[in-house]
C-alpha cells in the first residue's frame, strides 16, 4: 500500500499555491508525472506537502456519504440521523437514507463513514518516511509526526466507538498482509497513549499561515471525547471520568479559548466570519472559496432559499429535525414547553431558547429568496398550498423542520460554501468538563460550567431555577441528564454529538422510535398533544431500536 494518490497530491499543490505562498520558487513544482517514491517524501518540502494532504482525513461538512467513492472523507453529519433529533429523507425512494431507517446491514454504505483504512495507510507511510527525510528546520520533524499521529488517533477513536474491535494497523502493509481485529480495549489504550505522547509536542497556538493546524488543545479535546465515548463499554467509568476531567481542565486553564458573547456570537460560529479567528474553535475543517468548498447549503436548504450570485439548480431540503427535538427545546424560562404556562401553541417560536431559531428552519420562517432581493417564506404544511417545501412531497424535507446552521447569504453559490466546519468548539469542552465532574458525583463543581454555556445565549442558569426533570432518555443521573440536554441544544444539526450520547449511555431503547414532524393542525404549529405528520413511508419513519445497533456492521462491498 505504499503509493501516493496523485489526484489528492495535485489538489494539495493547488491549495498551497493559492493560500500559503506567493514565493516564485514555490511555484516551480515538479511535473506530477515524474514523481515516484524515490523522488518524494525525501525533503522537508515533500513532507510538508504530504502532511497537509493528511488534513483531508478530517471530516467534511456533509450529510451524505458519497455513493461511489471508496476514498471519500467522513461525512460529519451522517450519525446525527441515527438519533432521535433528525432524519434524512429517502431520495426518490431508492437511496440509503444515511441509516435513518435503522434497516442496517453490511451493505449500507453510510455505515462505512468511520472505516478509514485508506487514511491509516497514508498516515503510516508518512510516519515511516519522516526519519529518513532531510529537514532544514529540525524541530518540524517532531511536530509533523505529532500532527500525523493525531489524525491516526482521531480515526481509531471513532472506529472504536462505532465498530468495537478493529484491526490496529500502525505500519505499512504488503498485499499479502491480512491483519485481524484487535480487541477494543487495546485500540482504545493505543489512542490514549498516542494522545498522551503528542500533547506537549504541539503548540497551543499558531501564527500566520499555520493558523488552523492541529494544536495541543485539539489533542486534549479529542482525549476527553475518547474517555467519555468509552463509557458505554469500558469496565472502569471512574477512570474515564477522571481522564476526561484532567484533559478538559488543562484546556480551560490554558486561557486560549472562550465563548463569543450572545446569540449573535453563537450564530457567528457557523459563518465565514468566525473562520480562523474565533476563540471558540478548537478543531476545524478549513474551506477555501474556489479550492475546497462544501455543498451543504444545497443539501439542506428550502427550495427557494438564496443560492448565491452564481447559484443554479434546486436546493434539496433533504434532512429534517423531529418533533421530539423541537418540543423539548426549552422556553426562555428554562422550562419544557409542556410545563410553561406562557407557551402558546399558536405562536410557538417566541420566548424559546434562542438557539432554536438559530438552528432550525421553522414553519413560516422568512429568508432571502432566489432573486437575492425579496424574501420568501418556508411553507412546509400541506394546507399552505405551496408544493415546493411541503412535507407531503416525496423529495422534500420529511418533517417540516429544516436545518439552518452553515447556510448563509454570502457564498458564491449553493455548492461552494466556504464556512469552516467547526468540529470541536469550546462549548463542548465546557460541557465535557461538567459531565466528567458530574460523573464523579461533584455536581456543585459541574454546574457553573453547564450554566456558562446557557448564559452565553441568554438562558437562565440552573443554579437559579433548578435542574430540569428529563423523562425521555434519562441516564438516572439528574445532572448528567441536564448536560446531555444542553448538548442537544448546543450542537443540534452540526455533528455527531447526540449520537455519541445515545451510544455511550445506552439510551437507544428510550429515544428511538417513530419519527413525527409538524402538527396536523395548521392553526396550531406548536400543538403538543394533537396528531402530527408522520409520512406514509412507514419503513423510514417507524423506526425500531435493537441493541445490536450499538455496534455498526462493517461495510463489505462498494
- pLDDT tens digit sequence for 25-59: 434 445 545 545 566 789 999 999 999 999 999 99
Q: Which residues pair with 281 in a beta bridge?
A: 425
pLDDT on residue 106: 77
Task: Identify which has the larger pLDDT, 317 or 405.
Answer: 405
Written as one string, the DSSP assignment of 191-232 is: HHHHHHHHGGGS-S---GGGTTS--HHHHHHHHHHHHHHGGG
pLDDT on residue 103: 79
- What distance in Å separates the CA atoms of residue 558 and residue 68, rounded to the nearest whole number? 7
Tell me the pLDDT of the chain averaged across its residues.
88
pLDDT tens-digit map of 355-381: 999 999 999 999 998 888 999 999 999
Residues 6+ apart with CB under 8 A from 464: none
466: left (phi over 0), alpha (psi -120 to 50) or beta: left
pLDDT on residue 538: 43
Here the cell at position 7 is 489526484
- What distance in Å separates the CA atoms of residue 65 and residue 95, rounded to the nearest whole number? 11
Here the cell at position 218 is 485539539
Of 296-300, 310-314, 358-362, the one with minimum mean pLDDT is 310-314
pLDDT tens-digit map of 218-268: 999 999 999 999 999 999 999 999 999 999 999 999 999 999 999 999 999
Residues 6+ apart with CB under 8 A from 442: none
HEC states along 473-539? CCCCCHHHHHHHHHHHHHHCCCCCHHHHHHHHCCCHHHHCCECCCCECCCCCCCCCCCCECCCCCHH
> What is the rounded average pLDDT of the residues 8-28?
38
Residue 396: pLDDT band (50, 70, 90) is: confident
Residue 316: pLDDT band (50, 70, 90) is: confident
Residue 14: pLDDT band (50, 70, 90) is: very low
pLDDT tens-digit map of 418-439: 999 999 999 999 999 999 999 9
> What is the rounded average pLDDT of the residues 265-286?
96
Residues 6+ apart with CB under 8 A from 237: 231, 439
- What distance in Å separates the CA atoms of residue 14 and residue 21, rounded to the nearest whole number? 11
Q: Residues 315, 80: contact at Cβ < 8 Å? A: no
Domain parsing of the chain, residue ranges = 1-73+116-174
Written as one string, the DSSP assignment of 296-322 is: HHHHHS-TTB---TT--S-----EEE-
Amino acid at each position: 500500500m505504499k503509493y501516493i494518490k496523485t489526484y489528492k497530491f495535485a489538489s494539495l499543490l493547488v491549495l498551497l499555491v493559492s493560500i500559503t505562498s506567493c514565493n516564485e520558487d514555490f511555484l516551480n513544482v515538479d511535473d506530477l508525472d515524474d514523481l515516484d517514491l524515490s523522488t518524494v517524501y525525501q525533503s522537508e518540502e515533500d513532507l510538508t506537502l504530504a502532511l497537509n494532504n493528511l488534513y483531508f482525513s478530517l471530516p467534511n461538512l456533509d450529510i451524505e456519504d458519497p455513493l461511489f467513492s471508496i476514498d471519500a472523507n467522513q461525512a460529519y453529519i451522517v450519525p446525527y440521523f441515527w438519533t432521535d433529533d433528525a432524519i434524512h429523507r429517502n431520495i426518490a425512494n431508492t437511496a440509503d437514507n444515511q441509516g435513518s431507517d435503522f434497516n442496517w446491514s453490511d451493505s449500507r454504505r453510510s455505515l462505512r463513514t468511520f472505516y478509514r483504512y485508506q487514511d491509516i495507510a497514508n498516515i503510516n507511510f508518512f510516519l515511516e518516511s519522516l526519519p529518513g527525510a532531510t529537514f532544514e528546520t529540525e524541530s518540524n520533524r517532531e511536530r509533523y509526526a505529532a500532527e500525523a499521529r493525531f489524525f491516526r488517533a482521531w480515526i481509531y477513536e471513532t472506529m472504536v466507538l462505532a465498530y468495537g474491535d478493529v484491526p490496529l494497523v500502525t505500519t505499512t502493509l504488503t498485499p499479502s498482509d491480512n491483519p485481524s481485529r484487535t480487541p477494543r480495549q487495546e485500540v482504545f489504550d493505543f489512542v490514549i497513549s498516542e494522545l498522551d505522547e503528542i500533547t506537549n509536542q504541539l503548540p497551543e497556538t499558531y501564527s500566520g499561515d499555520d493558523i488552523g493546524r492541529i494544536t495541543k488543545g485539539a489533542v486534549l479535546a479529542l482525549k476527553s471525547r475518547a474517555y467519555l465515548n468509552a463509557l458505554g463499554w469500558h469496565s472502569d467509568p471512574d477512570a474515564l471520568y477522571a481522564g476526561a476531567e484532567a484533559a478538559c481542565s488543562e484546556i480551560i486553564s490554558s486561557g486560549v479559548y472562550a465563548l463569543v458573547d450572545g446569540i449573535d456570537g453563537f450564530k457567528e460560529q457557523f459563518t465565514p466570519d468566525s473562520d480562523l479567528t474565533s476563540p471558540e474553535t478548537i478543531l476545524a475543517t478549513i474551506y477555501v472559496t474556489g479550492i475546497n468548498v462544501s455543498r451543504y447549503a444545497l443539501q439542506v436548504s428550502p427550495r427557494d432559499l438564496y443560492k448565491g450570485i452564481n447559484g443554479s439548480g434546486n436546493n434539496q431540503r433533504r434532512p429534517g429535525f423531529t418533533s421530539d427535538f423541537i418540543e423539548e427545546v426549552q422556553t426562555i424560562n428554562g422550562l419544557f414547553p409542556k410545563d410553561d404556562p406562557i407557551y402558546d401553541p399558536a405562536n410557538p417560536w417566541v420566548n424559546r431558547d434562542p438557539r432554536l431559531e438559530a438552528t432550525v428552519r421553522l414553519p413560516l420562517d422568512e429568508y432571502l429568496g432566489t432573486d437575492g432581493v425579496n424574501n420568501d417564506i418556508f411553507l412546509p404544511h400541506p394546507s399552505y398550498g405551496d408544493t415546493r417545501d411541503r412535507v407531503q412531497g416525496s423529495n422534500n424535507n420529511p418533517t417540516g423542520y429544516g436545518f439552518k446552521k452553515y447556510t448563509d447569504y454570502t457564498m458564491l453559490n449553493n455548492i461552494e460554501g466556504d464556512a469552516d466546519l467547526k468540529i470541536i468548539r469550546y462549548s463542548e469542552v465546557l460541557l465535557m468538563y461538567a459531565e466528567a465532574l458530574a460523573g464523579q458525583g461533584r455536581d456543585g463543581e459541574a454546574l457553573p460550567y453547564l450554566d456558562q454555556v446557557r448564559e452565553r445565549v441568554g438562558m437562565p442558569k440552573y443554579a437559579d431555577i433548578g435542574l430540569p426533570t428529563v423523562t425521555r432518555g434519562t441516564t438516572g443521573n439528574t445532572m448528567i441528564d441536564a448536560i446531555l440536554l444542553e448538548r442537544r441544544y448546543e450542537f443540534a444539526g452540526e455533528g455527531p454529538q447526540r449520537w455519541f450520547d445515545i451510544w455511550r449511555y445506552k439510551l437507544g431503547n428510550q429515544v428511538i422510535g417513530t419519527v413525527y414532524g409538524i402538527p396536523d393542525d395548521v392553526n396550531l404549529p406548536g400543538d403538543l398533544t394533537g396528531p402530527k405528520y408522520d409520512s406514509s413511508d412507514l419503513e423510514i419513519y417507524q423506526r425500531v431500536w435493537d441493541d445490536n445497533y450499538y455496534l455498526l456492521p462493517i461495510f463489505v462491498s462498494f
